[in-house]
Amino acid sequence: MADQAGPIPVAQPVLAAEEAEAAARAVLSGWVTQGPEVQAFEDEFAALVGAPHASAVSSCTTALHLALMAVGVGPGDEVATVSHTFIATANAVRHAGAEPVFVDIESGTYNIDPQRLEAAIGPRCRAILCVHQMGMPCDLDRVLAVAAAHDLPVIEDSACAVGSEIACNGAWEPIGRPRGAVACFSFHPRKVITTGDGGMLTTADPELDQRFRLWRHHGMSVPDIARHQSRKVIFESYPVLGYNYRMTDIQAAVGREQLRRLPEIVARRRVLAERYLALLADVDGLGLPEQPPFARSNWQSFCVLLPEGLDQHATMQAMLDRGVATRRGIMCCHREAPYRDVRRAGPLGRSEEAQDRGVILPLYAQMTEDQQDRVISALKEALAA
């Protein structure tokens, strides 16, 4: 845990003796990659989010790659998505052989603007890849409506959204309970729960789930668990081109402990986010994140927009000089060399503004109110300076 009087990090995973003991359990078992711990983690994750199927992989990037391939995206195709996201989203589209088409975001939620989505859908579009940015659920109902009108599958980049919820038919349900074709999660240390690294795919379609399981393990026809548990000799085959996208049992054992912590972690993050919203509401010109009525965020990140005309770098440096780490707003893929020439569904002004004026403030479950007060004071002093 960070020293309350020392520097304040932008994020910090919640890891303790239970996770260390779980990792040791896997190490001492002698089965350290894609074995019984992975299977148990998948079952527990599926139960948590209410998904019929969950398949663990090495990262959310590999999860997105497999999801895109599984719904039929390939060379020469296009995928409608946002530029305002970590570059892995666009990279996964390229890994599948396709090209992203960038759509601008809404102000406040930092999520895809469904009103602008239609313009991204051309004759080569094969899927919509929406992002629940910084844990805030996007307007999935409207995205699904556009997708249905064009008979397109929807993949949810839920990298940041484990523990977030969305209203459906008058009830709250977790992100990851399949509403589109597939939802993909990340367990990177910057996320709400972590396995060091790793990812998960959830789906209601058993055929998609079987493809994920085949592809993640070199295309091997027989899972390792089935082969090792069999009382007869089994010879595997490799009917398709596959990948080494496996999760280790060490990671999964840690993940199982993290799942037990998730409700408490999310509850604490929500308290801290509400406190930020209340204590920053009077800062003139500061843009605060907006949570729509249909969404309950896990607040994986808390991003504010600086008042117009302020120097983002100077503001962040002033806060760092006061012992408070920050990060700039989420990147725009179209500003990076590999994606400067891809098609855009109109201007991306809101995406660029979010990157140029956005500052991500520290937020983690172990954070105390005193630490949060220090962050708020450092921000106000930086703005005043």
Q: Active site includes 191?
A: yes
Q: DSSP of 49-68, one letter per residue?
A: HT-SEEEEES-HHHHHHHHH
Closest CA to 81 of 64, 66, 69: 64
Place of tokens 């503001």: 315
Among 191, 216, 217, 269, the one annotated catalytic: 191
Cβ contact 283:121 at 8 Å:
no
- Kindly report the backbone phi and psi dihedral angles of residue 204, in degrees, each rounded to the nearest multiple of 5, phi listed first: -95, -5
Closest CA to 143 of 103, 90, 176: 103
Give 135's DSSP letter.
Answer: G
Cβ contact 270:299 at 8 Å:
yes
Residues near 245 by beta carbon (within 8 Å), at least 6 away in sequence: 57, 58, 59, 62, 65, 66, 215, 216, 217
Cβ contact 289:298 at 8 Å:
no
Which residues are the active-site residues? 191
